[in-house]
């Protein structure tokens, strides 16, 4: 790395009484200790200070620890006397059954239930969107598989995967055709009901 680049990238410019570093060899031999020796004490103190850990003050009132089929709900308390962030478990949520079970004999307030139900709706929508995205990615993979079979697959590779692909695609086709027929039957019955 060029000498001038290292001098400019140093966090604090060297004072005027710092001896110039004329060659790259001198820089390697002395390192930053050479410049550190001629720095004023105030500059050294600045470089030695630890950066504070920044933490936002606008924390939510609830935290949802995701678990299978739901979440464990915590109420956050960050305005106590000790100014410590405390997480109080208040409920267990099951998305499949739509259950909200209070923890430790607690009685959930109206705001607690409203926040939990809002999270359940948003989480269900997110999971549904992820399911659809996974299926669309599967379509992409099928296209890539077709291209791989056509252009790169060897005879041994085709022998290893052909039967599994045939069965999986045949099963998927049967399910799609059956579901399509059910939707058509349902849509044809609606005008008759009117």
In the chain (194 residues long), the average pLDDT of successive 10-residue segments reads: 42 51 45 48 44 58 94 85 82 95 92 96 97 97 97 97 97 96 86 62
Does residue 55 sit within a domain? no
Name the one residue in this structure whose structure tokens are 């030695």: 48
Indicate the pTM of the whole model: 0.61
Does residue 97 sit within a domain? yes
Q: What is the pLDDT of residue 9?
A: 41
Q: Residue 117 contacts by C-beta under 8 Å, 6 or more apart in sequence?
A: 100
Does residue 57 sit within a domain? no
Distance, in Å, from the CA atom of 72 to the CA atom of 106, rounded to the nearest integer, reads 14
Q: Residue 146 contacts by C-beta under 8 Å, 6 or more apart in sequence?
A: none
- Looking at the structure, do residues 128 and 186 belong to the same domain, yes or no? no
Tokens of 56: 């936002």
Into how many domains does the chain fold?
Answer: 3
Lay out the sheet containing 99-102: strands in order across: 62-67, 70-77, 86-94, 99-102
Full domain range(s) for residue 177: 153-194
Does residue 66 sit within a domain? yes
- Looking at the structure, do residues 76 and 148 belong to the same domain, yes or no? yes
Does residue 74 sit within a domain? yes
Does residue 20 sit within a domain? yes
> For the chain, how many residues are written?
194
- Looking at the structure, do residues 70 and 28 belong to the same domain, yes or no? no
- Looking at the structure, do residues 43 and 94 belong to the same domain, yes or no? no
- Looking at the structure, do residues 78 and 138 belong to the same domain, yes or no? yes
- Looking at the structure, do residues 67 and 139 belong to the same domain, yes or no? yes
Comparing CA positions, the residue from 81, 79, 88 lying closest to residue 59 is 79
- Looking at the structure, do residues 124 and 145 belong to the same domain, yes or no? yes
Side-chain-side CA neighbours of residue 50 (13 Å) = 3
Q: What is the pLDDT of residue 189?
A: 75
- Looking at the structure, do residues 132 and 69 belong to the same domain, yes or no? yes
Q: What is the pLDDT of residue 56?
A: 52
- Looking at the structure, do residues 138 and 190 belong to the same domain, yes or no? no
* C-alpha distances in Å from residue 35, one per residue of 25, 49, 75: 15, 18, 52
- Looking at the structure, do residues 172 and 139 belong to the same domain, yes or no? no
Tokens of 112: 């607690």
Q: What is the pLDDT of residue 191?
A: 66
Cβ atoms 72, 89 nearer than 8 A: yes
Alpha helices per DSSP H over the chain = 3-9, 24-30, 32-37, 41-48, 110-151, 155-193
- Looking at the structure, do residues 144 and 78 belong to the same domain, yes or no? yes
- Looking at the structure, do residues 68 and 84 belong to the same domain, yes or no? yes
Burial class (CB in 10 A: 0-12, 13-18, 19+), 91: buried
For 51, list phi and psi in degrees, rounded to 5. Answer: -75, 135
């Amino acid at each position: 790395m060029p000498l001038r680049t290292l001098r400019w990238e140093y966090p604090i410019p060297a004072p005027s009484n710092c001896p110039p570093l004329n060659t790259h060899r001198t820089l390697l031999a002395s390192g930053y200790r050479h410049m550190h020796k001629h720095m004023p004490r105030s500059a050294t103190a600045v470089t030695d200070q630890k950066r504070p850990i920044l933490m936002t003050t606008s924390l939510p009132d609830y935290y949802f620890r995701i678990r299978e089929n739901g979440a464990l709900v915590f109420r956050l308390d960050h305005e106590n006397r000790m100014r410590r962030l405390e997480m109080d478990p208040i409920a267990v949520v099951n998305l499949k059954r739509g259950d909200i079970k209070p923890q430790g004999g607690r009685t959930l307030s109206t705001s607690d239930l409203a926040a939990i139900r809002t999270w359940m709706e948003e989480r269900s929508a997110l999971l549904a969107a992820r399911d659809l995205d996974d299926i669309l990615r599967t379509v992409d993979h099928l296209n890539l598989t077709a291209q791989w079979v056509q252009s790169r697959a060897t005879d041994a590779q085709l022998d290893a995967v052909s039967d599994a692909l045939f069965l999986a695609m045949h099963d998927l086709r049967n399910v799609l055709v059956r579901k399509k027929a059910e939707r058509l039957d349902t849509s044809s019955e609606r005008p008759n009901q009117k």
